[in-house]
């Protein structure tokens, strides 16, 4: 096992109500890849923690469920988070959307906790794995854009996404594009894959990748 990431923690969140569905299969594949690379992982199902949507906090409390536990004890300490969701009506599942929306109750309040929460929300590596019945590549783009904008808002790095097709439970394994393998590779490289997002003022070298080096002196690679 590769032990290069002993202190990096990857949280995998599955937003599907199916425990044996295609989104869960993508999450499990990513977890296998990450564990093989020596990354500490935790795979959780949002259904176990969220039982309600964001309420009007001026007039009523947040739903009485385990969201605070999920957000404060699992999400904030994680160095990277992989969101796994089915595509419902060309968007993420309601559970997944509620996960992001419910965070408002923690970072928008008053007192010392919001500052700690905002600090914990920033600087993560984020990834996305989506499952849909359609192979149409545009089906996932709305979700990709939303996670991309969340990454921008939270000063995080959106390092990659996987899109697989399947309807029956586990059918995603038959997708010839091999999304389970792609998810496994995403998990393994979650903290090592190159990330660049240039601005006009960003200093940068002329080459994107480091040139290959020959092991023999004086011999070009």
pLDDT digits (tens, 9 = 90+) for 50-107: 998 887 777 777 888 899 899 999 999 999 999 999 999 999 999 999 999 999 888 8
Distance set, CA 217 to CA 31, 80, 90, 212 (Å): 40, 39, 54, 13
Residue 1 has pLDDT above 50, yes or no: no
pLDDT, average across residues 31-36: 96
* Interval 154-159 mean pLDDT: 96
- Residue-wise pLDDT for 98-147, tens only, equals 999 999 888 887 666 888 899 999 999 999 999 999 999 899 999 999 99
119-124 contact pairs (CB < 8 A, 24+): 120/75, 120/76, 120/77, 121/76, 121/154, 122/154, 122/155, 122/156, 123/155, 123/156, 124/78, 124/79, 124/80, 124/81, 124/154, 124/156, 124/157
pLDDT of residue 23: 96
**pLDDT 10s digits, 185-221:** 999 999 999 898 888 888 888 888 887 765 555 554 4
Residue 62 or 4, more confident: 62
- Write down the pLDDT at residue 202: 85
pLDDT at 97: 96
In the chain, where do the E strands start and end?
9-14, 40-45, 80-86, 125-132, 157-165
The predicted model gives 170-179 an average pLDDT of: 91
pTM of the model: 0.88
């Amino acid at each position: 096992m590769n032990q290069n990431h002993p202190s990096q923690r990857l949280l995998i969140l599955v937003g599907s109500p199916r425990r044996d569905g295609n989104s869960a299969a993508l999450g499990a594949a990513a977890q296998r890849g990450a564990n093989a690379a020596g990354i500490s992982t935790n795979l959780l199902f949002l259904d176990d923690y969220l039982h309600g949507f964001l309420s009007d906090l001026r007039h009523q409390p947040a739903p009485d469920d385990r969201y605070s536990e999920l957000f404060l004890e699992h999400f904030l300490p994680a160095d990277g988070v992989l969101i796994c969701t089915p595509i419902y009506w060309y968007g993420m599942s309601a559970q997944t959307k509620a996960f992001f929306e419910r965070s408002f109750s923690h970072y928008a309040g008053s007192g010392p906790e919001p500052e700690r929460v905002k600090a914990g929300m920033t600087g993560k590596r984020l990834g996305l794995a989506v499952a849909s019945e359609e192979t149409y590549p545009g089906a996932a783009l709305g979700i990709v854009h939303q996670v991309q904008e969340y990454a921008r808002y939270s000063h995080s790095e959106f390092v990659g996404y996987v899109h697989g097709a399947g309807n029956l439970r586990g059918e995603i394994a038959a997708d010839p594009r091999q999304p389970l393998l792609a998810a496994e590779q995403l998990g393994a490289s979650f903290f090592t894959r190159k990330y660049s997002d240039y601005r006009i003022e960003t200093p940068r070298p002329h080459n994107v990748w480091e040139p290959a080096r020959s092991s023999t002196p004086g011999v070009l690679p």
